[in-house]
Amino acid sequence: MGRYLRRKITIYILTFFVAVTLDWMIPRFMPGNPILILVSRFTGLPQSAKVMYSYLVKAFGLDEPLWKQYLNFWIAFLKGDLGVSIYMYPKPVVDILKQAVPYDVALLLPSITLSWIVGNKLGAVAARTKKLDSIVLPIFYILTATPYLWLGILLAWFLGVVLGLFPIAGAYSFSTVPSFSLDFILDFLGHWILPFLSLFIVMLGGWAIGMRNMIIYELEADYVKYLESLGASQQLIRKYAFRNAVLPQVTGLALQLGTIVAGALTTEIIFSYPGIGYILLEAILHEDYFLIQGCFLFIILGVLLANFFIDIIYVIIDPRIRYSYGGEI
Amino acid sequence: MEAISTRRELLFFALRNKKMRVGISIFTFFVVLAIVGPHLTGYDPLDYVGPGYHPPCREFWLGTTTFGQDVFTQLVYGLRASFFVGLLGGGIATIIGLIVGFFAGYRGGMIDEILMMMTNVMLVIPTLALLIIIAAYLPYRGILIESVIIGLTAWPWTARAVRAQTLSLKTREFVDLARISGMNSIRIIAEEIAPNMMSYIFMVFILQFGGAILSAVGLDFIGLGPTRGISIGIMMQQAVLWNAIQLGMWWWAIPPGLAITLIVGSLYFMNTGLDEVFNPKLREM
């Protein structure tokens, strides 16, 4: 088990290294001078353009040799310094992102876990009979083909505007102040439900299809034939098939994280939900490069941590990994 | 002779398969719409041609935007862009995935270790995040560049899947025979292994095609798509930015995403349908 985790951690450290390097490299090796592009927006204000230019040259450290720039980037990064936002000057990028992260967690954690659990159950039920399968499978396929952002638009328009059931912008009403009162929590949940649903529903389809296919595959396996010949009940056989089918679904969760995060980014934009996706849009619209870089690093860090967490869960639920890597019985 | 008859047999099963028929019909409908559509409307997608806020009518089939642009015209031009990205972006991703997967699987050893390490690293980095950071620094972006960037970042899962398939084919007798007869690796991959995976490769391409379309929609939506012209993602971005949802302008906000959902859905249908066609075992299900 230790060897398995060590191998995984090596990949994560390497990924992180590559990600930070890319983050450093891209503005420097892109065609055109990033600083000139940034400063060009101050053409009407020659005085501030000058100040901006010297600040940016210093911030990028462009007057130093390349290897030293790279080293400085890492040192600053490890100190938690991601630069200063241009659009929300003089707020440090790290502070802006720290405020956004709780909203992302509040949205992603429940939607991913719930859709995974419900999707797996639905998929297992669909694999039970051909009739049910032929009805629900097309629905699952349509769901998984839906862009997150479009479902967000659809829900906002129908449930938010036409029926007027839920608010469609922000994380809470302007009139309320964040606190642990019942009023605020209800207000927060009202704002949270639509973005949550758009993520939950789209993901649901994918998990259900995966589980359905895995169960059908598992029912062909030798152990199922053996159980059948022993006269085991269908219920028992399905229970074993489900357990075996869950494992690839856990791996699937790790593989899907990137897509899910991308979906969450666009969903937050639809509902003006103040997570990293919304900040990223603001950063892009205002060409705030430090903030864009910071968002990128935060997203990567989050995905890496989640991957690591899933790996640990995998070791816990699959005894074979524990045995094959650790030798313990 | 035999090749022709098996091809005919596959075609027979393909056309008899319900999922295939539904998938192909929807897909063809949108391809035709993308080809013919721009000739049906006399407008330019960005021209201001009529009154703003106008719901669908005989003159403007899908209504107009806040500024009086024709939504139908934007949609059909946007579809062209989507198919272009799917074809090119999906194509590039499939080709890179195939090359990496074949070599890692067939050569094994150190090459496999390095290529798979690379693949695993790319797999963890969210594609959209990488696209954002690249696109953000390109001041002028066209749809061509967008497709290339999507293609260059979407290959990892294909590489892993192709590698697994290659590993299982590699140990078969006909590959051994080719190796004994002195063929080099590239020829063995191209002439012995790849033809045996043709159906699988085609299915991978279909999925990459759909994936590239979805990536482009996301990228365009956050404002990192083509800096000029129109696309489905840009339409949705404009609709959201100008409060089409709050104003109840469903004809502007809903149809672009609906078209994408149907196109990608039809691709998934074709994919499962093909799976059943190529895999007789699944046909009975």
For B245, the closest of A144, A161, A304 (CB atoms) is A161
Q: Give B131-141 pLDDT, tens digit per residue.
A: 777 777 777 78
Q: Give B163-209 pLDDT, tens digit per residue.
A: 888 888 888 888 888 888 888 888 888 888 888 888 888 889 999 99
B253 to chain A: which residues are within 8 Å by CB?
A: 153, 157
Residue A65, preceding bond cis, omega within 30 degrees?
no
B136 to chain A: which residues are within 8 Å by CB?
A: 284, 287, 289, 292
Residue B178 contacts residue B169 (beta carbons within 8 Å): no
Q: Give A112-170 pLDDT, tens digit per residue.
A: 999 999 999 998 888 877 888 888 888 999 998 999 989 999 998 898 888 888 888 88
pTM confidence score: 0.85
Question: What whole-number distance in Å separates Cα of residue A161 and Cα of residue A267?
Answer: 17
Q: Give the chain B residue whose CA is nearest to the CA of A220.
A: B281
pLDDT reported for residue A329 = 38
Helices A93-126, A234-270: axis angle to 10 degrees equals 150
Domain containing residue B20: 2-282
For A296, the closest of B120, B129, B215 (CB atoms) is B129
A162 to chain B: which residues are within 8 Å by CB?
A: 248
pLDDT reported for residue A324 = 63
Residue A46, preceding bond cis, omega within 30 degrees?
no
Are A259 and B129 within 8 A, CB to CB? no
DSSP code of residue A162: I
Q: Give A262-289 pLDDT, tens digit per residue.
A: 888 889 988 888 888 888 888 877 777 7
What is the pLDDT confidence band of residue B5, given thresholds at 50, 70 and 90? low
What average pLDDT does the segment B25-30 reach?
A: 94
Residue B77 contacts residue B136 (beta carbons within 8 Å): no
C-alpha distances in angstroms, A302 versus A28, A73, A283? 25, 20, 19
Q: Residue B153 above 70 pLDDT?
A: yes
The pair of structure tokens assigned to B188 is 């063995």
Are A150 and B261 within 8 A, CB to CB? yes
What average pLDDT does the segment B90-97 reach?
A: 94
What is the pLDDT confidence band of residue A35, given thresholds at 50, 70 and 90? low
Q: Give A223-254 pLDDT, tens digit per residue.
A: 888 988 998 888 888 888 888 888 888 888 88
> What share of chain A in percent tops pLDDT 70?
89
Helices B109-124, B71-107: axis angle to 10 degrees equals 150
Query: How many C-beta neighbours within 10 Å does residue B177 have?
Result: 11
Q: Residue B79: name the closest of B265, B269, B267, B258 by CA.
A: B258
Q: Residue B261 above 90 pLDDT?
A: yes
Q: What is the CATH number of the domain that holds B275?
A: 1.10.3720.10
Number of domains composing chain B: 1
What average pLDDT does the segment A214-219 reach?
A: 84
The pair of structure tokens assigned to B195 is 């033809």
SS3 A327: coil
